[in-house]
Amino acid sequence: MKKLTSIIALSMSMAVTETVTAQTGQQKDGKKNPYTLVYEGAITGNVKGKVNIHPVTYQLNGITIAANVYTPASYYASKKYPAVVVAHPNGGVKEQTAGLYAQKLAELGYITIAADAAYQGASGGEPRHTDRPASRTEDIHGMADYIAQYAGVDANRLGVLGICGGGGYALKAAQSDKRFKAIATLSMFNSGEVRRNGFKNTQLATIQERLQQASAARAQAAAGGKIEYMGVSSVTDEQIAATPAGLYKEGFVYYYRTHAHPNSTFLYTKSSLLDLMTWDATASIELLDQPLLMIVGSEADTKYMSDEAFSKATQSKKKELFLLEGATHIETYWKPVYVSKAVDKLQSFFFENL
């Protein structure tokens, strides 16, 4: 039995090595990139006649937000362009997949913005790694505020793309914010449902216990005590190898190996669960009446969340659930074949609706 266990562990370790090796060619070293971008094909310098990147900051409810604006190759401030707000995944930052899709859309002629959520990444806000749905939703409203005033943007042609957790928050923001004329999600993750029920509803029996723990964590912080965190800030190769195949295993490889960024972490304050566990991306989704495109990998273990949200969005004027055949959740973030197909679909969707 011990020998068999060792063989299985070795096999899993080899699988992780193969995954990392396969993705290494997609990574750009953030320390070498002047904008700390960590995706393949990232901009290394602004060149006339090409897509350019513009790091910016702005104030949102007293918090400094750090963002990157991407302008198309044809950009002239005197012209008018459609724009797309890109919301990053849970634990992610603007330099990872949000930046990749923002750049790809800029290559198609859109002015795009990808910002770090308040309390996260390079944006301000204390305590760090706070992950409240109301704040994440407000981040999307704030990106719309900023980009609508950007030189060259046609505020009447504004769309939003939310990735993973950003997808759930994009659905929520667009329910009330009718500045968004078209809503797209990629590998949508319903943060409230998962924090409440567990991934694939595996923690239903411990909801009250976890709410008690979150309440105690808030009380402790309010009394000046230590702030408690959930999640992880780093993982070992052994921990990755021991993680079951799927979202979390691939996420560990993506965020901590192949596309690591110093501002990216899976940590969030335990007290955030007070808000997360009572929130749901699909609550009041009948308010969403704009065109809706939901893109998801056919092999993603998170697909059930997109299926559920799509079925509940009954008032959307026109909607489509688009499958990336063969793709897992994390592969939609970086794998060229899936990114290309997703961008092609986004191009036709935004062209038609913006």
How many other β-carbons are positioned within 10 Å of the β-carbon of residue 92? 31
Contact 126, 119 (CB under 8 A): yes
Confirm whether 174 is domain-assigned: yes
Q: Map residue 330 onto helix, strand or coil.
A: coil
Confirm whether 135 is domain-assigned: yes
Confirm whether 227 is domain-assigned: no
Candidates 198, 197, 182; CA nearest to 247 is 198
Confirm whether 118 is domain-assigned: yes
Confirm whether 297 is domain-assigned: yes
Look-up of token digits 């923690």: 203
Task: Assess whether pLDDT exceeds 50 at residue 17.
Answer: no
Contact 111, 72 (CB under 8 A): yes
pLDDT digits (tens, 9 = 90+) for 140-166: 999 999 999 999 999 999 999 999 999
pLDDT digits (tens, 9 = 90+) for 40-66: 999 999 999 999 999 999 999 999 999
Task: Assess whether pLDDT exceeds 70 at residue 9.
Answer: no
Number of domains within the chain: 1
Look-up of token digits 């799927």: 246
What would the mean pLDDT of 95-104 be, rounded to a whole number? 98
Confirm whether 271 is domain-assigned: no
Candidates 265, 274, 247; CA nearest to 333 is 247
Q: Outline where the chain has alpha helix (H).
A: 2-24, 97-107, 133-148, 165-176, 191-197, 207-222, 237-242, 247-253, 273-276, 303-312, 331-334, 336-353
- pLDDT at residue 317, rounded to an integer: 84
Q: Map residue 181 onto helix, strand or coil.
A: strand
The CATH number assigned to the domain holding 46 equals 3.40.50.1820
pLDDT digits (tens, 9 = 90+) for 292-317: 999 999 999 999 999 999 999 999 98
- pLDDT at residue 167, rounded to an integer: 98
Confirm whether 77 is domain-assigned: yes
Confirm whether 214 is domain-assigned: no
- pLDDT at residue 25, rounded to an integer: 40
- Looking at every residue in the chain, the average pLDDT score rounds to 92
pLDDT confidence bin for 340, thresholds 50/70/90: very high
State the residue range of the domain holding 342.
Answer: 2-190+232-266+280-353
* Cα 50 from Cα 106, distance rounded (Å): 10
The contacts of residue 131 (CB under 8 Å, 6+ apart) are 90, 117, 119, 120, 191, 268, 269, 272, 276
pLDDT confidence bin for 32, thresholds 50/70/90: confident
Cα atoms in the Cβ-side hemisphere of radius 13 Å centred on 301: 13
pLDDT digits (tens, 9 = 90+) for 184-241: 999 999 999 999 999 999 999 999 999 999 999 999 999 999 999 999 899 999 999 9
Look-up of token digits 């192949």: 258
